[in-house]
């Protein structure tokens, strides 16, 4: 048994390889802890190695591995796409670059309030998806409706858990309303929410518009985070229309 730098014994003769970060003068402890977590996060390290713009890329990858909505030929809209990790995965999965011989070529459209560095195979636009004509612009750019609308957006943190929960649920509801306007029948909506109890109305809304609604926490989502993802498949139409048809 070997001794670790802290004096503790580790199993199988292995040393404690966790990176420790000292708090620099003028830097908050919270910043130091965040930096230490990033340096020791295997998904962060993997993203750097594989060329993704952030660890969040693995969240959509894992969700798609389970639900298979990013298929070759699919038209995808990524709301709040910065920094671009979800777009990168979508480009690969829907064959936006046409690299998969014999497979249909898809489209990936990313929109964000801020300017985003170009992504090969994706079309990026600086746009507020809450604008009245945003859905018309997106459908014009796509040349039709989307098969998938996805969102990893989160409202700016206030530091108050309850307030942040309400904000992200409201943002998710807005993304869902946008999806109702641009999704093709049978389409999929994927969005991040925070567990906290206020998402019941959102769940009810989605269940009226989609045939299946699942709540998932992919392995890439940190265990200490309250985030989860809603995956709604089989779009039937805007809820009021669906209610009349039903």
Helix axes 200-209, 161-182, angle to 10 degrees: 10
**Please, what's the largest Cα pairwise distance for the chain?**
69
Q: Residue 94 has which token pair?
A: 């829907």
DSSP string, 101-165: TTSPP-EEEEEESS-----TT-EEEE--TTSTTHHHHHHHHHTS-EEEEEE---PPP-S-HHHHH
Catalytic-residue membership of 192: yes
Detail the residues annotated as belonging to a binding site: 84, 86, 112, 128, 152
Residue 76, both tokens: 């995808």
Catalytic-role residue among 49, 192, 217, 228: 192
Please give the structure tokens belonging to residue 228.
Answer: 């989860």
Binding site residue list for S-adenosyl-L-methionine: 84, 86, 112, 128, 152
Determine the Cα–Cα distance for residues 188 and 175; give it in Å rounded to an integer: 12
Neighbours of 217 (CB within 10 A): 16
Q: Does residue 153 come out as left (phi exceeding 0), alpha (psi in the -120 to 50 range) or beta?
A: beta
Rounded Cα distance between 241 and 243, Å, is: 5
Task: List b or e across 77-101, with b for residues whose CB sees 16 or more CB atoms inside 10 angstroms.
Answer: bbbbbbbbbbbbbbbbbbbbeeeee
Give the containing element (helix H, strand E) for 57: helix 57-67
Annotated active-site positions, please? 192
């Amino acid at each position: 048994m070997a001794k670790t730098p802290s004096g503790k014994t580790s199993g199988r003769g292995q040393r404690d390889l966790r990176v420790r970060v000292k708090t620099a003068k003028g830097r908050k402890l919270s910043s130091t802890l965040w930096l230490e977590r990033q340096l020791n996060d295997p998904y962060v390290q993997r993203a750097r190695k594989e060329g993704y713009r952030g660890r969040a890329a693995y969240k959509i990858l894992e969700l798609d591995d389970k639900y298979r909505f990013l298929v070759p030929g699919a038209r995808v809209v990524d709301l709040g796409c910065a920094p671009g990790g979800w777009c990168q995965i979508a480009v690969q999965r829907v064959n936006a670059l046409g690299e998969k011989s014999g497979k249909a070529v898809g489209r990936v459209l990313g929109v964000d309030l801020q300017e985003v560095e170009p992504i090969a195979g994706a079309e990026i636009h600086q746009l507020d998806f809450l604008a009245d004509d945003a859905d018309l612009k997106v459908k014009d750019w796509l040349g039709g409706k989307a098969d998938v609308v996805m969102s990893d957006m989160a409202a700016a943190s206030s530091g108050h858990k309850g307030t942040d929960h309400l904000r992200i649920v409201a943002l998710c509801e807005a993304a869902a309303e946008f999806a109702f306007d641009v999704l093709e029948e049978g389409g999929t909506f994927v969005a991040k929410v925070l567990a906290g109890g206020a998402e019941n109305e959102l769940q009810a809304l989605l269940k009226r518009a989609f045939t299946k609604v699942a709540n998932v926490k992919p392995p890439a989502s940190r265990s200490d985070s309250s985030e989860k993802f809603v995956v709604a498949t089989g779009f039937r139409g805007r809820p009021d229309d669906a209610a009349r048809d039903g």
